[in-house]
Amino acid sequence: MITTNFDYESCIRASERVSWKLDEVFPANLALDFSRRFLPNAITGIESLDFLGDKERLTLNHISGNAYLYLFYFVEEYIVASVVQHANAEMFGDPMALRALLRFAEEEVKHQQLFLRFKDAFARDFGFPCGVVPNPQAVAEIILSKAPMAVALTTLHLELVTQQHYVEGYREGDGALDPFFASLLKNHWLEESQHAKIDALELQKLAAVATPEQIETAVGDYLAILEAFAGLLGAQASLDVTTLEEAVGKKYTEEQRQAITASQTRAYRNTFIILGIQNPMFLKYLEQFSSTGPGRVTSQIGALS
């Protein structure tokens, strides 16, 4: 049984306190500044690619930053659909839960618009086409076909990692990071922290009526979603190498291409998958309704890295 020290009402209050407007966080037509890193070194792994010069590393950091925000847009496609389903289940039910879920859905669509605004600005100011993995709607449909508890677990996992990413970025705050990019992470995290709590409350409702078999299936489905996501992140890493070559105007050797792809894949999988599996809050909630769950998911860390 999941226990929490918050409820839908406290989530609404916190959401009202921290809520922001898209045009204030990201004014339309704002020019991006490419003089500083977008992502902290702690989550890119680019520093270990010692055959890249400083300019190439910075450019790869920018490419990774663009992909990072786009990947949030990408997964939020299924999250919006899932949260609307949860809201629909509360129609004529608990008005507080309904309101919390509707705010959650509205904020998540706003985040998608924020990330698309960044993607458009990047395409305009970077000067080179930047490949990103296609078909978020098709992937959303596949995820939504899984057990509802597995979908809710995946969402909880993703909301919790945004908090970790911001804390990592903030800790590094030595002026080397682009303050505008850092502000996007901060504003995203401010609203995601309520989303993670609402995910826990929704999981609590699902877990309360689930059989042990349904819970086992949900943990398996959650791992299947992560496996598919790991494949997608590998595909994004391959696109990054091509973009980097275009942007710096040089061709890398096959060995170098493979090294960059492997490093990008490892970094994305660590950022989006491994940090979530290892997140103490995630494991705490999982353990409360599945005593074998934490062991099952952490045993897959090697396979998903």
Binding site for Fe ion (CB under 5 A): 111, 159, 192, 195
In sequence order, what are the beta bridge partners of 177?
A: 37
Q: Which residues are within 8 A (CB) of 241 and not within 5 positions of it... i.e. 6 or more apart?
A: 252, 257, 260, 261, 264
Q: Distance (Å, rounded) from C-alpha 206 to C-alpha 218?
A: 11
Q: Which CB atom, from 52 or from 184, has the smaller least distance to Fe ion?
A: 184
CB of 150 to Fe ion, least distance (A): 17
Q: Which CB atom, from 70 or from 126, has the smaller least distance to Fe ion?
A: 70
Q: Which CB atom, from 77 or from 159, has the smaller least distance to Fe ion?
A: 159
Q: Which CB atom, from 8 or from 126, has the smaller least distance to Fe ion?
A: 8
Q: Distance (Å, rounded) from C-alpha 198 to C-alpha 155?
A: 10
Q: Distance (Å, rounded) from C-alpha 12 to C-alpha 96?
A: 8
Amino acid symbol at 238: S
CB of 76 to Fe ion, least distance (A): 5
CB of 241 to Fe ion, least distance (A): 28
Q: Which CB atom, from 111 or from 269, has the smaller least distance to Fe ion?
A: 111
Q: Which CB atom, from 49 or from 102, has the smaller least distance to Fe ion?
A: 102
Q: Which CB atom, from 90 or from 192, has the smaller least distance to Fe ion?
A: 192
Q: Which CB atom, from 2 or from 80, has the smaller least distance to Fe ion?
A: 80
CB of 19 to Fe ion, least distance (A): 13
CB of 194 to Fe ion, least distance (A): 8
CB of 188 to Fe ion, least distance (A): 6
CB of 211 to Fe ion, least distance (A): 29
CB of 239 to Fe ion, least distance (A): 23
